[in-house]
A and B are shown apart, each in its own frame.
Chain A
Amino acid sequence: MKRVFRAGVMGVVAAVALSGSALAADYPTKPIEMIVAFAPGGGTDVAARSIASFMEKHLGGGARIAVINKPGAGGEIGWTAVAQAKPDGYTIGFINVPAINALVVEGKAKFKMDDFQPIANLVYDPGVLVVGKNSPYQSVKDLVEAAKAKPGSIAIGTSGAVGSSEHITILNFERLADVKLTHAPFGGTAPVRQAVLGGHIPAATMNLSEALQLSREGEIRVIGVMSEGRSDYLKDAPTFREQGYDVVAGSSRGIAAPKGIPADIVAKLEAAVDKALNDPEYLEAAKKAEIPLHYLASGDYKAFLEKSTADLEATWKVSPWR
């Protein structure tokens, strides 16, 4: 009896001692929390909820991922929660570039970019400059010339506030084209789209995926895409580069964990995202919804994050947005 007891004790001790490494092998043994820094129903939320179910499938072993919305302060609340979570692989979150880097560069965030362990990037959506269908501007050049003739007379609507990524893009554009524009922050995508369609604002910035349908229907005109090359989804729309302005900007959505998470768990999560993104069922749905998928594995994602932070730091030095 005593022996049995002793064996039991030894077993427990061994189990406790091993649990550190056993953790990763069995991972996940409890539900994983996926923090979304925006409200339910937004673009990031829908992306998170749809990938979560496919990640569950490819993590295997009855893995459960719970999407937790922690919206507020332009994402800062949710991202702080990810950065400060226990790095055990049971808290991961969606981060959005360049919004998250901008907060860090301004120096007001409670986290640094080093506080995150990048897992994988999923989506990259280039920015676009659009005008209403009855607008006199056919190209970026038209708009620049009009703005040069009357500095500040052209207002550009954005869905954000002062200091949002779209605002930063406008500042960059102003610097590169040497013009003065007026930033009109609408605070949401719905009102700014309504204002462009109704002709209440001369031009607006949005993401390409948000402009696709309206542009194909001829309700709005995309006068410049902020990507290196033309988009496959909208081949007719010229890029800023083609028109002589080196404006490349867009927003990306990817998954990150707090730094210090075991490397084998990172690998597991990374593999799950990779497999999920190659799942025919998911691909089909993403293609139908025209989601601009852009997979970057952990290492590449890290490099991408570092580059965008460096770019923003350069911008901040020349034209601080606050």
Chain B
Amino acid sequence: MIDALIHALPHVFAPANLLAVVIGSVAGLVVGALPGLTVTTGIAILIPITFGLDPLFALGMMAGMYNAGSYGGAIPAILMRVPGTPASVATILDGYEMTKRGEAAYALQVAVVSGVIGSALSAVALILFAPPLVKVSLLFGPAEYFWLAMLGLATISALLGDDLVKGVTASLIGLLIGTVGQDLTSGTERFTFGSLELMDGFSIVVLLTGLFALPPVFQMAEESIKEGMSAAALKFRKQRSVLREWRYFLPVWLRSSAIGVFIGIMPGAAGSMSSFLAYNDAKRVARSPETFGQGNPEGVAASEAGNGADNAAALIPALSLGIPGSGVAAVILGGLLVHGLRPGPQLFRDHPDVVYGFMLQMLLSAFLLLVVGGLAATRIFGQVLRLPRVVLAPLIILFVAIGVYAVNNAMFDLYILVGVGLVAYVMEKLGYPQAPVVLGLILGPMAESQLRLSLTISQGNPAVLVSSWVSIIIALLTALVLVTPLYRAWRERQRKPAAA
């Protein structure tokens, strides 16, 4: 493997291939930063363009677009509270609060450095630990996925916000929306009202964009008499150095990257889960969890590191078994096939130059992100905030509409977008948090379909749910997460009478 890596190095750093990674990164940054437009679409468009080109040139562009696109979503999330990609939703929670405090530059810096760390660690995992990690991913069958979803649902409390009732209501709304669509096991259509467009359920990208991108725009329209941010408030000059504070961020980076890599290698877990679960985890273990959601840089770091770590990891099962760990990995597989590169163990034997070259490009593009997505890009994107809101609000709506239309080329999605946007705006006015909706929406259907699959396979015998040690461990973890707060509450109560 070392031989193959050394052999691949000169190809990776060949001027043309280097340029490909740079081009891909710049394009990815734009694709990621535009709400609704996703990396999946971007890479799908790249595939036919790269048809006659050298594989490493093509893959270099894809690698660049993958890592930069996944970070790009954080830019509008932090600056305008508008998520560029579904995964950047968790970045908003603290990122935008920091911008309001005038720390936009610092927040973006935290995001980019955390994204780089996450993507780089993920690429290292891809290069060094692909074989054992693939074995881990194979341990997960329907029963294990069911427990994973339950664990995710159990940790949802960290996202509920200050008002418990409103938080729980929001997560139930998410679970409810998640039931829409055709039931795979019976073929019954649920809450589709005969609409073809709803047969696969709500499109997550459309729904998330409506939930998170529109309310801030409506808010802007409300405040449209105000002027844009003054130059002084923006402060794009270096504020603090994230790199110098590495000791402070290191634990968050490591934990979040581990979570991202883990979710990345799981084909059955949605990619946008990584950033949420990483954020959840960071808040849960933080010394002062109440500062999360109020502009804690650790929140941004957790979300972006988790998000970045999902990238290369999703390629692990894709390259070694042909099983993509995420939507983007699926498109990259398509791109490999176009170049006659068939995924599987033989890919590593027959084309080591290309495979290890591509892995190195994933690593390279992670570091390139520092250059491409660093302060220069931040300053350019940041200028947008200087626009008066009368101009900015319709502009965002325009970009959001184009992006959402591009997902499925369907007018229907635009109606959903506006409808969901209005509902979300009202929710926001009434103080209901939107983040729990997302987790309910992602995890609810996963828990349900996997539970039914495992019971179908076992012919209704519930013992299948605890038939492997992986299931048992995750089930116990879930129980632990649920019981810990009860135990704490009980101890508090024990202590109080003693004090009185």
Contact = CB atoms under 8 A, between A and B. Distances in A.
Interface of A: 39-43, 45-46, 49-50, 52-53, 67-74, 76-77, 80, 152-153, 155, 161-163, 182-188, 190-191, 193-195, 197-201, 210, 212-214, 216-217, 219, 281, 284-285, 287-290, 322
B410 interface: yes
Given A46-B338, A193-B321, A198-B141, A77 B410 contact: yes
Contacts of B346: 213, 216-217
B480 interface: no
23 contacts: A41-B334, A43-B334, A46-B337, A50-B48, A70-B410, A72-B408, A73-B197, A77-B197, A152-B459, A161-B182, A162-B184, A184-B456, A185-B453, A188-B267, A190-B325, A194-B323, A213-B343, A213-B344, A217-B344, A285-B340, A289-B338, A290-B342, A322-B187
Given A182-B456, A201-B457, A71 B321 contact: no
A193 B344 CA distance: 13
Which 3 A/B pairs are nearest by Cβ-Cβ distance? A288-B340, A200-B141, A40-B44
Contacts of A322: 187
Interface centre among A43, A153, A187, A199 (most CB of B within 10 A): A187
Contacts of A289: 337-338, 340, 342
A153 B410 CA distance: 42
B457 A187 contact: no
A269 B486 CA distance: 69
B330 A185 contact: no
A199 B470 CA distance: 14
A184 B449 CA distance: 11
B449 A187 contact: yes
Contacts of A187: 184, 449
Interface string B247-284: 00000000000000000000110000000000000000
Given A40-B40, A70-B409, A190 B267 contact: yes
A292 B323 CA distance: 20
B126 interface: no
A72 B344 CA distance: 29
B324 interface: yes
B47 interface: yes
Chain B: interface residue count, which band?
35 or more
A216 B347 CA distance: 12
B141 A201 contact: yes
Given A53-B51, A73-B199, A289-B338, A197 B344 contact: no
Contacts of B268: 190-191, 194
Interface stretch (B99-107, B132-140, B369-377, B492-500): B132-140
Nearest to B344: A213
Given A73-B200, A163-B187, A217-B344, A46 B182 contact: no
B409 to A, nearest CB: 5
B112 interface: no
Interface in B409-424: 409-410
Contacts of B137: 194, 198
Interface string B170-187: 000000000000101111
B193 to A, nearest CB: 13
B456 A191 contact: no
Contacts of B140: 194, 198
Contact of B138 (A67, A69, A194): A194
A161 B138 contact: no
A190 B324 contact: yes
A52 B48 contact: yes
Contacts of A52: 48
Contacts of B321: 193-194, 197, 214, 219
Contacts of A69: 44, 408-409
Given A73-B197, A152-B459, 8 more contacts: A43-B334, A46-B337, A50-B51, A182-B459, A194-B268, A194-B321, A201-B457, A213-B344
Interface in B309-358: 317, 321-325, 327, 330-331, 333-335, 337-346
A212 B345 CA distance: 12
Contacts of A201: 141, 457
